[in-house]
Homo-oligomer: A and B are copies of this chain.
Amino acid sequence: MTIQQKLEQIEAALAQALVQYRDPAELYDPVHYVLSAGGKRIRPLLVLLATEAVGGETTDAMNAALAIEMLHNFTLVHDDIMDRSSLRRGRATAHIQFDENSAILSGDVIVGIASKLLSASAQHSHNPSAVFDVFSQGFIDVCEGQALDVAFTKRTDVHPDEYFGMIERKTARLLETSVHIGALVGNGDPQHTSALRTFARDIGLAFQMQDDILDVEGSHGFGKTPGGDLIEGKRTWLMLRAREKATGKPEFQELVQTFFSQNGIAPTQVEQMRTHLIQEGVLAEGTAMVEKLTEEAFVHLHKLPDSTARQHLEELATTLMERTT
C-alpha cells in the first residue's frame, strides 16, 4: 500500500469514527469543523507505519492512529485560544468560527473521543495499559511544552538550549508518542520500539527547527504570515542564538534588543532581521542542526529491518525536511 492510500484510509476512518458524534450539535459541530480541516495527517501515518515496521497489522492500529490525530487537533484548538490566533489551515480558528466556550468544550470532548478510540486499539497490544500510559505521558508533555512556550515569551533570559527542551515536548513528543504507540499495538520488540522513538523525536526536533527557519526565510505555509514568528516575538532557537551572536554588533544588537523587549519587531523590520540572521550565520547554524538531526534520525531508523514501511517512514521524513513552505 502506498503512503497516499494509507492517507486515504485515515481520512475515511476518521470520517467514519465521527459519524456517531452529531448530537448535541453545539458540541459536535466544532469537532467536525476542526477535524475535517485537513492537515498533513503525519501523526496517524507514523502510527500505522510504526505498527507495520515492527511486523504488526495496520488495521489493529487505525483507531490508535485516529486517537493521536485527535489529540493533536485538540492541542491546536486550545493553543489557538491561548495564542489568540484567528487563522489555522487557511480557515477561521474554532473559537472565531464558533465561540470561545464552544472551542474549549469541543476541544475537551475530542480528547474523550481520542481516548475511547485508543481503548479499541489498545486491546491488540500485549500490554494495553502501556498504550494508555504512553498516550497519557505524551498528553502531559505536550501541555508542559505549551506552558513553557507561553512562559518563554514572558522571560528575557531563555538560553538557546532551553528551546530544545520546550520543542522536544511541544512538537517532538507527539511524533515520538505516535511511533511508540504504533510499535506497542504491533507488539514490536523493545530495540525496534526504542529506535523508532529516537527516529521520530529527532525528526520532530528537525521539523520544528526547519519550520522556524522557513518562517525567517520568508517562505510561508498555507494560512501563515511570512516572518510571523519575528513579528509575534516567538522565542525560537534562531532568535535566542541571535542574541548571543549580536554582542558587539550595534545595529544587529539593537534590533535583537527590540525583538526581546517589545515582544516582536515591526513588519517593516523583518527584512533587516533576515539579513542579519543570514550574515551572522545564524540561519546556517540552524540549517546544519536540521541536517545533523535528520542524519541521526535515519541512523536510528536503519536499526529496523528493511521493509516497505521503513522505506515509507524514510520517504515521509525526507518529504518533511525538503518542504519549502
Contacts and interface: CB of A to CB of B under 8 A. Distances in A.
B115 A123 contact: no
A26 B146 CA distance: 10
Contacts of A148: 24
Nearest to A110: B143
Q: Helix, strand, loop or mixed for chain A's interface?
A: helix
A116 interface: yes
A308 interface: no
A129 interface: yes
Contact of A129 (B109, B119, B140): B119
A133 B146 CA distance: 27
Please give the count of copies of this chain that the complex contains: 2
Interface string A20-32: 0000101100000
Given A143-B27, A143-B109, A115 B129 contact: no
A34 B109 CA distance: 21
Contacts of A136: 112-113, 115-116, 118-119
Interface in A95-151: 101, 104-105, 108-109, 111-113, 115-116, 118-120, 122-123, 128-130, 132-133, 135-137, 139-140, 143-144, 146-148, 150-151
Contact of A105 (B78, B129, B135): B78
A27 B152 CA distance: 13
A73 B119 CA distance: 23
Contact of A101 (B24, B122, B135, B150): B150
A105 B147 contact: yes
Nearest to A24: B147
Contact of A111 (B139, B144, B150): B139
